[in-house]
Amino acid sequence: MESDVVTIFTVSFITSFIMMEIVSPKICSRIGTYQSLTPNQKLEWNSRVLSSIHAAIATFRALYVMCFNNYTNYVLADDKFAFNTISLTTGYITADLCMLIIYRERIGGTIGIAIHHITTIQAYSLCLSKQYLVYFANYKLLAEASTVFLNIRWALVACDKKDSQLYFYNGLALTTSFFLSRILLVPFFYQRVLETIYTSIYIEAVSTAEHYSWVSVSITLDVLNVMWFHKLVRGILRYLGPGQKKKKETIGHCKRNMVDGINKCTDTEVLPSVRHR
């Protein structure tokens, strides 16, 4: 593992704690709505500020890798920018896992989230230590595009802004970004995987155990994303269906129904599962 990767991991890990414990509370304390939150909500708020910052950085960096880096192969690509992106994310996820353990009773740290974090750390650590498959690791990071809207939605709920226009349009953005980053890209991802795993360079570089490890993790996460999106859309359609509203409903009432659908689904099914993913 190159020294740059270790340095970026360490800086990301330490910075994540500083952002959540010092910087975010200091800055957000000037916001009136933040001051009205409970101590546990403030802790969750700071955690989600950190999550959103990481999600924005990771998404743009991964998008840059996908759009502007030309790989001769997708196994042993010598791309420091891409590896540094994975190192940065691994540092953040490791710090977030530590925070979930420390504050597990205050910010809703579940076993499912912990397993998700541990699995992700294991997969990214393999990528960094063996210096391979960084293209696919960055491809998966594009899923972070929906995290910012998920965190905004939580903040609006915490601030009792469910009836606001911002809440409605953020719900649309959440649904759209979730589909684009976690559902639409799946077929293209596995098309690239199939084009790669039968090449001689892949067979020589990746052991059988490593192959089944990272592929099974990817499939599991994608199946979960499909299930979450199905529940999200079902919740919306349930409240927008003809049987749920009268013919003379106003547009504003339709919006509230849609918001309720997003709210019901994300509160009980999607939101806890994709807290930081």
**At 231, is the secondary structure helix, strand, or coil?**
helix
- For 201, phi and psi rounded to 5 degrees? -65, -35
Q: How much is the pLDDT for 135?
A: 95
Q: How much is the pLDDT for 27?
A: 95
**Short-list 59, 36, 34, CA closest to 49:** 34
- End-to-end CA, the chain: 25
The pLDDT tens digits of the residues spanning 171-198 come to 889 999 999 999 999 999 999 999 999 9
pLDDT band at 273 (very low <50, low <70, confident <90, very high): very low
**At 79, is the secondary structure helix, strand, or coil?**
coil
pLDDT at 102 over 50: yes
What is the CB neighbour count within 10 angstroms for residue 97?
Answer: 19
Q: How much is the pLDDT for 140?
A: 93
Q: What percent of the chain has pLDDT over 90?
A: 57
Contacts of 77 (CB under 8 A, 6+ apart): 69, 71, 134, 135
pLDDT at 78 over 90: no
Q: How much is the pLDDT for 241?
A: 65
The pLDDT tens digits of the residues spanning 18-30 come to 999 999 999 999 9
Helix ranges restricted to H, 103-207? 111-130, 134-141, 147-158, 165-178, 186-197, 200-205
Distance CA 160, CA 153 (A): 11
Residue that has been written with the tokens 């927008």 in this structure: 240
pTM of the model: 0.84
Distance CA 148, CA 153 (A): 9
**Short-list 232, 238, 263, CA closest to 168:** 263
pLDDT at 255 over 80: no
The pLDDT tens digits of the residues spanning 223-233 come to 888 988 888 88
**Short-list 116, 97, 69, 81, CA closest to 8:** 81
